[in-house]
Amino acid sequence: MSPGLPFGIPRPRTFPVTANDALARTLRLPLRPIRRALPLLVPLLALPLLPTATHAQDIQVRAFLSSPRVGFGGQFVLNVEISGTQQADADPVLPDMEEFGQYLGAGTSTSMQIVNGRTSVTLTYQYRFQALKDGVFEIGAVKVTAGGRTYETEPVSLIVSDTPAPRGGIADTGDPADGIPPEDLFVDAEVSRTTVFENEPVVVEYRIFTRVTVDSYGITALPQTTGFWTEELEQSQSPQVERVIRDGIEYQTATIRRVALFPTGSGERTLDPLGIQAQVRVPERRQRDIFGDVFGGSGLFDRRVPVAVASRPVTIEVQPLPADGRPASFTGHVGELDIAATVDRASVAANEAVTFRLAVTGTGNLRALTPPDITFPDEFEVFPPETTDRIAPGGGSIQGTRTYEYVLIPRAPGGVTLPPVEVSYFDARSASYGTARSQPVEITVTGDAAALSTETGAVPSAVESIREEIRFIHIGTPDFRRTGVPLHTTAGFWIVLLLPVAAVVGAAAVRRHRDRIEGDVAYARVRRARRMARKRLARAKGLAGGDPRDFYAEVSGALQGFLADKLNVAEAGLVREEAGRLARRRGVSDETLERLFACLDDCDLQRFAPAGAEREPLERVLERAAAIMGDLAKELSS
């Protein structure tokens, strides 16, 4: 019996002719069809009696793998089979498999078998995992609670290796992905270098290589980056596909993730695998598919099977930074730096704010830079800096500018010189330290130190926050109010008096509206039509980044559902000619109907178009659908 079938029907049994004759006479049906159909109907007629029959059986549980051997990054299925019951008291409790497996999903199936008049039922839980570590592993006992008792399965062994299995050692697992060899679909992690210094960037590109048709993919396991500072690099939503020759085989490849890693300590570091699950299109070759011939060889009825793959771990050797020649201002940055200091104005009055900007430009882990040590003159009151970043990937690394803005308030007049600021770095290419130094900045402070200036200046946020904390005494003339005014002459009195009446009227209106929605189906559909259409368009917008066919199907469903609700007809039986006739009778113009049907035709065409077909921008499709719905709503309500 196949495990995926819901019912297992054995060879039909022979029934006495007298029983068939009696049943045929009772139902007044021909005898020969009854003889042929009755043996096949008996298992189905026995379903209502199934729980009673199965209670008498002994419950047995066992765990087994779809295959005891799986390649690295491949998918294996742990099956938990419960015989003698249709339902477990709770989901099985699996052992911890995080060391070598990444959970992908689960499913259940039920099978029934009738042998010698006895009915047996088997419930199977199927758990899919992705193998992320080489070796031989033991999957511990699975706990199952059924029939008020707790059972445990026997442990099973799993071998994770890319070494081919011995001939005849492994049977066919029945998994659709078994027909796709590992060399036809895999993920590779390409690193810019495998030997680096501490805090030196390592750019990692994860690329997918395939010789089969991949409709979509999703990341199932992100690498653990313990010991690294991680910086995600910009990645296009639609990866560019290239054709390459690898080991003499032509592949289609695309970059699915780019990341820059900065090791925070020395020693050997290992990057964990990146796991993905791809939806692979497998053609059906049993019969000729005219749609496959029309659309470039991809059949309309092709199967889509999930295939799990993962990249190999990558080992990176991290060297410590040399101690010789390390400057006193060095804080651990690896890369190249340049520094520039400026002020927003060279002359400022005493007790007014001036902004001192320090821009550090270069490569490396700029986000981890700390503000440099600056010794400001005693004449200035200094506030903590505000930090802004303009950082982007470039040249196989990270480059950009980190800016620190200090708010300074001079308290005494005169000429003041802000000293140079220096930052040190380690250049990995030359394996030497360097220091960048800014130019000194001159500031002239005018005015009297004892008097506060009342002129309006550019005061940064740090000073503004202090001003907000000060609550000044109001010295202006206050507003007075006449006393002894009768209460009923005030507006507040009448508002409070009439508020309960307004609440009762509003509640009655809401109640009447709800009663009409519950009792009048046509009214309810018309009222909810626009809201339901907006929800479906919003759902379609969320699908814009995925499979275009799902997007166009959702837009088409939104348009058809909106028209069906407005006309109060069933969406499932909506016929274009009949819908057009009803809509014209309700006042919809021919132009609007032509736009509606044209949009529906475009959606149907794009749903079955080949992957490389030219398509209208999805944002434009949403705008067209929304405009058509708006015109339909106006014309149907007029």
Question: Is residue 567's pLDDT more than 60?
Answer: yes
Give the residue-averaged pLDDT of 592-618: 75
Nearest to 265, CA basis, from 228, 313, 315: 228
Residues 64 and 47 in one domain: no
Residue appearing with tokens 């059949």: 299
Residue 341 in tokens: 């200091």
Nearest to 145, CA basis, from 87, 200, 225: 87
Residue 334 in tokens: 């690896």
Residues 346 and 312 in one domain: no
Mean pLDDT of the chain: 76
For residue 317, give the amino acid letter.
E
pLDDT tens, position by position, 250-297: 999 999 888 888 998 889 988 888 888 888 888 765 444 434 443 344
Does the residue 478 lie in any domain? no
Residues 186 and 298 in one domain: yes
325 close to 147: Cβ distance less than 8 angstroms: no
Q: Is the pTM of this model over 0.85?
A: no
Q: Which of 63-67, 129-133, 255-259, 445-449 has the lowest mean pLDDT?
A: 445-449
Paired with 204 in beta bridges are: 191, 259
Residues 383 and 449 in one domain: yes
More confident residue, 247 or 529: 247
Residues 341 and 453 in one domain: yes
**Widest CA span of the chain, in angstroms?**
123
Element (H, E) at 398: strand 397-410
396 close to 233: Cβ distance less than 8 angstroms: no
CATH of residue 238's domain is 2.60.40
Burial class (CB in 10 A: 0-12, 13-18, 19+), 95: middle
**Could you give the number of structural domains in the chain?**
5
Residues 201 and 239 in one domain: yes
Does the residue 477 lie in any domain? no
Does the residue 486 lie in any domain? no
The band of 320, judged by pLDDT with boundaries at 50, 70 and 90, is very high
CATH of residue 344's domain is 2.60.40.740
What is the bridge-based pairing of β-strands 202-210 and 249-263? antiparallel
565 close to 631: Cβ distance less than 8 angstroms: no
More confident residue, 41 or 444: 444
Does the residue 473 lie in any domain? no
341 close to 219: Cβ distance less than 8 angstroms: no
Q: Which of 150-154, 229-233, 302-306 has the lowest mean pLDDT?
A: 302-306
Number of residues that this document lists for the chain: 638
Element (H, E) at 446: strand 441-446
234 close to 393: Cβ distance less than 8 angstroms: yes
Residues 91 and 36 in one domain: no
* Beta carbons within 8 Å of 360's beta carbon, 6+ residues apart: 337, 338, 339, 366, 369, 372, 401, 402, 403, 404, 423, 436
Residue 99 lies in domain: 58-162
More confident residue, 471 or 184: 184
What is the bridge-based pairing of β-strands 156-160 and 135-139? antiparallel
